Amino acid sequence: MARYDVLIVGGGLSGLSVAHFVDKLLPGRSLLVVEKAPRLGGAVQTFRQAGFQGEWGPHGFLDNTAESQELLRDTGLYNEAQAAPLGDFYRYLCHRGRLVRLPQSLASALTTPLISGWGKLRVLADLWRRPIPEAMTIGDWVRHRFGPELLPLVDAAVTGSFAGDYTRLCLDSVMPGVRKLELATGSVIRGLIRKKREAAKGQGLGRLPSMLNFPDGMERLITVLAQGREVAQNTLVQGLEPGGGGDWRVRTDQGTIEAGRVVLAAPVNGGLQLLSGLRPPPVSCLPVSRIVNVVMGLSGRAKVPYGFGYLAPEREGRFTLGAMFTSHMFPDRAPSGQVLIEALVGGRRHPERLALDDEELISAVYEDLRQLIELPEPPLFSRVLRPEHGIPQLEMDHPRLLAWRAEMERHFPGLLICGFGWDGIGMNDMIRSAKNTVLAMAAATGRQDEAKVKAVYF
Ligand SMILES: Cc1cc2nc3c(=O)[nH]c(=O)nc-3n(C[C@H](O)[C@H](O)[C@H](O)COP(=O)(O)OP(=O)(O)OC[C@H]3O[C@@H](n4cnc5c(N)ncnc54)[C@H](O)[C@@H]3O)c2cc1C
């Protein structure tokens, strides 16, 4: 029977990042990545057709996280990355049926038409409202701290990251860093000012972050991380159990493999399924939000506003959750003189829209966009992408799962658990969690994840 020092279940960004940090921090270990699919990358997959280049999954990640910066430096990918600086691009909110720029600075926040004068004063009440330590949803928390007028903006942020519902997502799971600031300083505004001062002292980027991707698309990251690595593709892990002498026995559809350490880097629900054979989890699965991406190529006569794209809060009653103006963010994503837009539909609140056929989706998205953007003619190119991967929703059950994971890792030495939905959902979260997993492996003392202020990546 084959034996490895480290076996990683899952060849997505999490698993491959764990492999990278094992090589770096624990050199000399024999390591195998086991992936059930015929391709690596999981949710990361680039789309190319007719001169357009989009993404099935992630479209970008911010360059403000130490672990991702480290990974990019280690792999040489910093030199290749394309950066779209948030400071140079506008982001828009659909507000009362039109696109309004989101404020990017304190001065523009004071004058934005998105919030009334009274609403702005109410936001400042954060300075003296006492924190409620109990677990709560993001919606309840925002209403308490900042007042109801901020809810549509928060709705948009949560839509842009989770395709989720702020009335169900758990504050402590989704925004652990902001929550920590609130509890430490009694106010989010005060906490953010403190952080800004630290940044001015050289402990931060000192500028608005940039969104990163690569000229060949996000898949490039996967290709580079997988280079020269031993990977068993088309191999489904079906179960794991502690074997003799401290080793683990990992049962796959291709046979059993022994390993000193097993890192479960599958999405949270797949992980729970595998772990339930060892001990039943307190919750069998987290809800998952699915979206479709309607890719549209438009002629240069389309008056797509300059910027990253827009998001539509639920109260606007739009068909489309929002759209990315991809060829504004990254050059060469569309043939010369044309524009690429990627519009997202579905999400936690509208799974029924995923059942529409391609024609219906394209025409509903086009009609929706036409009311917001001057589009003199129908798209020259359109394609509906239906990613098989959904986004795990860190709702109110999530903290119980984290406590259970800590117990499992304590009880079963050599078992480590990370991946989509455990320590967040964004690419930066996955890379940070991968590094923490390897540090925990090195120290064998359990994970010591530090809650950071989360970055919104759209
Ligand atoms: C539609 C969509 C849009 C997104 N947009 C963004 C974005 O713009 N920015 C951002 O930062 N993040 C975004 N994300 C999140 C980002 O894609 C994830 O953070 C990241 O890809 C998760 O990587 P992972 O390796 O943890 O999980 P996955 O990508 O799901 O990979 C897990 C791998 O494990 C394999 N696997 C599972 N079970 C087994 C088993 N039993 N045996 C063997 N192999 C197994 C799977 O086949 C898969 O390849 C998006 C996600 C989606 C779905």
Same domain (yes/no): 275, 293: no
CB 170 within 8 A of CB 394: yes
Q: Whose CA is nearest to atom 9 of ligand 1?
A: 58
Same domain (yes/no): 240, 176: no
Q: Whose CA is nearest to atom 45 of ligand 1?
A: 10
Same domain (yes/no): 364, 335: yes
Ligand 1 atom, smallest distance to 13 CA: 25
Is the per-residue pLDDT at 129 higher than 90? yes
91 Cβ closer than 6 Å to some ligand 1 atom: no
Q: What is the mean pLDDT of the chain?
A: 93
Q: What is the pLDDT of residue 95?
A: 96
Is the per-residue pLDDT at 106 higher than 80? no
More confident residue, 294 or 208: 294
Q: Whose CA is nearest to atom 30 of ligand 1?
A: 42
Task: Please count the structural domains in the chain.
Answer: 3
- pLDDT tens by residue, 209-228: 899 999 999 999 999 999 99
Same domain (yes/no): 113, 200: yes
Same domain (yes/no): 173, 131: yes
Q: What is the pLDDT of residue 104?
A: 81
- pLDDT tens by residue, 345-381: 999 999 999 999 999 999 999 999 999 999 999 999 9
Percent of the chain whose predicted confidence (pLDDT) is above 90: 87
Q: What is the pLDDT of residue 26?
A: 95
Q: Whose CA is nearest to atom 28 of ligand 1?
A: 42
Ligand 1 pocket test, pick from 229, 256, 427 with the greatest ligand atom count within 8 Å of Cβ, gives 427
Q: Whose CA is nearest to atom 38 of ligand 1?
A: 266
Q: Whose CA is nearest to atom 35 of ligand 1?
A: 10
387 Cβ closer than 6 Å to some ligand 1 atom: yes
Is residue 86 a part of any domain in this protein? no
Is residue 129 a part of any domain in this protein? yes
Q: What is the pLDDT of residue 197?
A: 84
Q: What is the pLDDT of residue 109?
A: 84
Ligand 1 pocket test, pick from 35, 174, 286, 344 with the greatest ligand atom count within 8 Å of Cβ, gives 35
57 Cβ closer than 6 Å to some ligand 1 atom: yes
Same domain (yes/no): 429, 282: yes
Is residue 99 a part of any domain in this protein? no
For residues 82-95, give the mean pLDDT: 90
Q: What is the pLDDT of residue 86?
A: 83
Same domain (yes/no): 203, 327: no
From the CA atom positions of the chain, what is the Rg in Å? 22
- pLDDT tens by residue, 308-341: 999 999 999 999 999 999 999 998 999 999 999 9
Ligand 1 pocket test, pick from 36, 158, 252, 275 with the greatest ligand atom count within 8 Å of Cβ, gives 36
Is residue 448 a part of any domain in this protein? no
Is residue 415 a part of any domain in this protein? yes
Give the least confident one: 36-45, 204-213, 215-224, 394-403: 204-213
- pLDDT tens by residue, 65-74: 999 999 999 9
Same domain (yes/no): 262, 295: no
Q: Whose CA is nearest to atom 5 of ligand 1?
A: 58
CA of 155 to the centre of ligand 1 (A): 23
CA of 418 to the centre of ligand 1 (A): 11
Same domain (yes/no): 388, 295: yes
Q: What is the pLDDT of residue 456?
A: 44
Q: What is the pLDDT of residue 445?
A: 47
Ligand 1 atom, smallest distance to 418 CA: 26
Q: What is the pLDDT of residue 458?
A: 39
Give the least confident one: 49-53, 125-129, 289-293, 454-458: 454-458
Is the per-residue pLDDT at 49 higher than 90? yes
**Confidence bin at 203 (pLDDT 50/70/90):** low
Same domain (yes/no): 274, 400: yes
Query: Residue 150's domain is classified under what CATH number?
Result: 1.10.3110.10
Is the per-residue pLDDT at 45 higher than 80? yes
Q: Whose CA is nearest to atom 48 of ligand 1?
A: 42
296 Cβ closer than 6 Å to some ligand 1 atom: no
Is the per-residue pLDDT at 1 higher than 90? no
267 Cβ closer than 6 Å to some ligand 1 atom: yes
Same domain (yes/no): 334, 244: no
Query: Residue 382's domain is classified under what CATH number?
Result: 3.90.660.20
222 Cβ closer than 6 Å to some ligand 1 atom: no
Query: Residue 26's domain is classified under what CATH number?
Result: 3.50.50.60
Is the per-residue pLDDT at 85 higher than 90? no
Nearest to residue 175, comparing CAs of 426, 409, 381? 426
391 Cβ closer than 6 Å to some ligand 1 atom: yes
Q: Whose CA is nearest to atom 51 of ligand 1?
A: 57
Q: Whose CA is nearest to atom 7 of ligand 1?
A: 58
Is residue 452 a part of any domain in this protein? no
Range of the domain at 297: 46-66+288-392
14 Cβ closer than 6 Å to some ligand 1 atom: yes
Is residue 96 a part of any domain in this protein? no
Same domain (yes/no): 439, 417: yes
Is residue 350 a part of any domain in this protein? yes
271 Cβ closer than 6 Å to some ligand 1 atom: no
Is the per-residue pLDDT at 165 higher than 70? yes
Is the per-residue pLDDT at 206 higher than 70? no
Q: Whose CA is nearest to atom 14 of ligand 1?
A: 58
